[in-house]
Amino acid sequence: MKLRNLAHSRTGDKGNTSNISLIACDPKHFEHLRTHVTEARVKAHFHELVQGEVVRYEMPNIGALNFVLLHALGGGVTSSLALDAHGKSLSSALLDLDIPEPTL
């Protein structure tokens, strides 16, 4: 199934770094997200866009993951040639990721 069915997301930016949150709609699915939405999967999903590493922070307190993607914004928000220089639409791209259906 698509990640969009289990979670919601919002993107922010700082310089050449993108920050994409992934929040479980139902906290009981947090472990499932933790298992399947890894740094490696996110890096592979965005391989064409992200030049640096992907770091994942976990917030079990609210059932969320926070992804920091380095060198992801075409050199930086202020100098990027991209239409979406801030990368704000990347949250939608993340939610299109395919993941197994949870058993819960």
Sign of CA dihedral 66, 69, 74, 77: positive
Site for another protein contains 35 (CB under 8 A): no
Distance CA 14, CA 23 (A): 20
Per-residue binder mask for another protein (CB under 8 A), 41-80, x = binder? ----xxxxx-------x-x-xxxx-x-x------xxxxx-
Per-residue binder mask for another protein (CB under 8 A), 3-22, x = binder? -xx--xxx-xxxxxx-x-x-
6 Cβ partners below 8 Å, 6+ apart? Answer: 24, 25, 26, 29, 32, 33, 99, 102
Contact positions vs another protein (CB under 8 A)? 4-5, 8-10, 12-17, 19, 21, 23, 25, 45-49, 57, 59, 61-64, 66, 68, 75-79, 81-84, 89-90, 93, 96
